[in-house]
Amino acid sequence: MDQMTFEQLPQVVGEIRERLLRIEDQLEALLCSEKTPSYLSISEAAEFLNLAKSTLYIKVCRMEIPVHKKGKRLYFDRAELHQWIKNSRRKTSDELHAEADQYLKLPTNKRRIIS
C-alpha cells in the first residue's frame, strides 16, 4: 500500500467504513436468506417491520416500499425490506456540515444542485 498523508486519512477511513458497511449488508442478507424463506406475506412483513398491516398497505399504495404482486397477493422480499430500511438512514448534522463544507470548497462553475 502507498504511503498516505495525514490529510488523506479521513478519506481513507471513510472508504474503509463504506466497505465494511457493504460487507455487513451482504452478510446479513446472506444470513437472512439461509435462515428463513425469502418472501414474506403482508402479516409477516408487518411483523418484521413492526408496522400495522394498514400502514403497510398505505406504503404499498404510495409506492414507498418494495413489493412484488402476483394476482391479488402481495409478497415482500426480506432482503429488499432490509435494504429499504438501511437506505432510509438520515444523515447526522456532522455529516451534513461536512458535505456542505466540501460543496462550498468547489469552484462555482463545478457546483450542481444536489437532490
- Would you list the DSSP string of 77-106? EHHHHHHHHHHTPPPPHHHHHHHHHHHHHS
Would the pLDDT of 111 be above 80? no
Element (H, E) at 69: strand 68-70
Q: Given this model, what pLDDT does residue 114 score?
A: 60
C-alpha Rg value of the chain to the nearest Å: 20
Q: Domain tally for the chain?
A: 1
Structural domain containing residue 26? 17-107
Q: Given this model, what pLDDT does residue 12 score?
A: 84
Contact 56, 91 (CB under 8 A): no
Q: Given this model, what pLDDT does residue 105 score?
A: 83
Would the pLDDT of 115 be above 60? no
Q: Residue 84 carries which side chain, given as an amino acid letter?
A: W
Residue 10 lies in a domain: no
Q: Given this model, what pLDDT does residue 4 score?
A: 79
pLDDT digit string, tens, across residues 3-60 = 878 888 888 888 899 999 899 888 887 776 666 557 899 999 999 999 999 999 999 9
Residues 96-106, buried b or exposed e (16+ Cβ, 10 A)?
eeeeeeeeeee
Q: Given this model, what pLDDT does residue 66 score?
A: 93
Residue 31 lies in a domain: yes
Residue 56 lies in a domain: yes
Residue 40 lies in a domain: yes
Q: Given this model, what pLDDT does residue 11 score?
A: 86
Q: Is the pTM of this model over 0.85?
A: no
Phi-psi sector, 71: left (phi>0), alpha (psi -120 to 50), beta: left
Residue 76 lies in a domain: yes
Phi-psi sector, 50: left (phi>0), alpha (psi -120 to 50), beta: left
Q: Which residue has the higher pLDDT, 110 or 91?
A: 91
Residue 4 lies in a domain: no
**Residue whose C-alpha cell reads 474503509 in the numeric block:** 16
